[in-house]
Chains A and B, each alone.
Chain A
């Protein structure tokens, strides 16, 4: 199994004086020739840093000797709950959200970055009369126009039953993944896969989905033909398969919920503990506003980030993952570089 050797993970919230919104807005506003200049890079360190030894990744303090890195921008939402319009001005969250604004942000990020992956962690449906009257048609059409790549299923996506969801799926020009909902006996069988693999600049990225237990949340009549199975077992199987397929990054779209008082109830946090091989857990269900992801040091398997961006489309989450190309046994960076005039 391929292992990551090093993950640097930082939330913007930890950088003094920077709100996430400002940072992304700043990048959007800046000319593209300095991409990522203000990405959070940890505590202040000496300019240019120490020279590295002659083995290891090909990074020269004055610029890459070999262009061997790939940056993937992962954008994500969860629990958008049919909020097509911004929240009304006279209530909570006044003026926040709005699908058309989210589209603008997404497109600006796409313009400035070659590799962008746009994901949703479920509960696309329910919450405004747009869903009650039109059954999710508009939600799926808008997400398609925004260029969503992959989503998972939340409990409310079953609010009009399996058939109500299946009827709307032709409007969704993106993939659905759920590894622990057994959909094989339902009309979702063709459209919902356990996982999917995408490739960005040679980097394979695996995305699988996990859904919450139906009990006490989704009536049996509404999920007929779809069965919930153990999410952790499904996660382990997904990771194994996706690593076998050469995925350098494994993302879980989870609608399990962030954390519960009952520790036996599967959650994003218990998932990160139980299945350390996942790199990113992009969560939903509990409408949790995390200003920065939780970071789990998983030892040999690297780090796991757990993130969630509230609900209602009030936030667009972003995680930039930079990959180094490396080859050889045990995934160590065995490529070297010669000391030559490129160092001058």
Chain B
């Protein structure tokens, strides 16, 4: 076994290099080992794949949880008449989730909610045509993000629209905008042009307000001006589907390139 032996010798030489004093002669007895020094620390990793058989007891431990989970995740929440995918500047999946957010925030907030915004990056998978199961809700919205309603001035809404434009379009509901090359133009809330002096209440998720994402306007919100709803964005989606039942992929031009279709054709 040359590998180990030669290794030890090499390492021993290394240790010796650290031992300057000699010449006192070896002690009669080897001292009780009370102090240890690290001689070597090789490292490795093992990929946990199908070359390793699962441990039966752990499988047995997981099995009842898995079975219960399987039942709960198989619950049918609603039905999709077509496939929902996300897209820029507007996507059917973007609209579905943003509509659900606005709809449910309006039900649960203590006050009027004018508009909704969520980050497209938070939508993790498309929704396929057919029954929408609880499993799909978890796949689409796996994160434990809670709904937050912010009070923003009209000026802040305009700035937020610009940040959305810079991102190429994001899931919105209750407000509309056109995307110029770098800015948003023609921003409307509830069909009316944004009034800079007015206060609007925007539903979004706490992750974006607490410093996540890239929209700095959302980070400016005063603690007193935000209403944290104790409901997860995933539960919003679940509740919305349970309420409306069937959903159809829809694009309504709520967020579109400035100049309309001509400009879109140019892209």
Contact = CB atoms under 8 A, between A and B. Distances in A.
Contact of B10 (A2, A45, A219, A331): A45
Contact of B7 (A42, A127, A159, A202): A42
Contact of A6 (B5, B39, B73): B39
Contacts of B50: 86, 95, 101
Interface residues of B, number: 72
A310 B46 CA distance: 12
Contacts of B21: 332, 334
A264 to B, nearest CB: 16
Given A49-B10, A333-B15, A145 B57 contact: yes
Interface in A40-92: 40-42, 45-50, 52-59, 61-63, 66, 68-70, 84-86
Nearest to B144: A159
Interface in A305-338: 305, 307, 309, 313-328, 331-338
Interface stretch (B28-36, B171-179, B190-198): B28-36
Contacts of A262: none
A54 B39 contact: no
Contact of B46 (A4, A315, A327): A315
Nearest to A44: B6
Given A101-B48, A133-B68, A219-B206, A41 B38 contact: no
B22 A315 contact: no
A324 B39 CA distance: 6
B1 interface: yes
Nearest to A9: B41
A227 interface: no
A249 B142 CA distance: 39
B33 A41 contact: no
A323 B43 contact: no
Contacts of A48: 2, 5-6, 9
Contacts of B38: 4, 6-7, 248-249, 279, 302, 321-323
Interface in A96-128: 96-105, 107, 126-127
Greatest chain A CB density within 10 A among B16, B22, B66 is at B16
Interface string B1-28: 1111111111111111111111001110
B58 interface: yes
Given A105-B48, A216-B212, A333-B37, A9 B9 contact: no
Nearest to A204: B36
B121 interface: no
A11 interface: yes
Contacts of B210: 216, 219
B144 A202 contact: no
Interface in A1-52: 2, 4-12, 20-21, 23-25, 34, 36-42, 45-50, 52
B53 interface: yes
A324 B37 contact: yes
B40 interface: yes
B43 A12 contact: yes
A320 B41 contact: yes
Contact of A101 (B14, B52, B142): B52
A40 B40 CA distance: 10
Interface in B46-77: 46-59, 61-62, 65-66, 68-69, 72-73
A320 B20 CA distance: 28
Interface in A253-285: 279-280
A99 B57 CA distance: 11
Given A40-B42, A100-B55, A315-B47, A129 B138 contact: yes
Interface stretch (A134-142, A185-193, A231-239): A134-142
B31 A334 contact: yes
A47 B6 contact: yes
Contact of B5 (A47, A99, A324): A47
B35 A326 contact: yes
B62 A99 contact: yes
Given A56-B12, A202-B33, A314-B48, 12 more contacts: A5-B19, A8-B7, A20-B47, A38-B3, A39-B40, A55-B16, A61-B5, A129-B72, A133-B65, A159-B144, A313-B48, A324-B39
Interface of A: 2, 4-12, 20-21, 23-25, 34, 36-42, 45-50, 52-59, 61-63, 66, 68-70, 84-86, 95-105, 107, 126-127, 129-130, 132-134, 138, 141-142, 145-146, 159, 202-203, 215-216, 219, 246, 248-249, 279-280, 291-293, 302-303, 305, 307, 309, 313-328, 331-338
Interface of B: 1-22, 25-27, 30-59, 61-62, 65-66, 68-69, 72-73, 135, 138, 142, 144, 146, 206, 210-212
The 9 closest A-B pairs by CB, nearest first: A336-B26, A49-B9, A325-B33, A41-B7, A100-B54, A216-B211, A8-B40, A103-B55, A248-B36
24 contacts: A4-B38, A7-B41, A8-B10, A8-B42, A20-B45, A20-B46, A25-B46, A47-B6, A55-B16, A56-B19, A59-B11, A103-B54, A105-B48, A129-B138, A133-B68, A142-B61, A246-B35, A279-B38, A319-B43, A322-B41, A323-B37, A325-B35, A327-B35, A332-B20
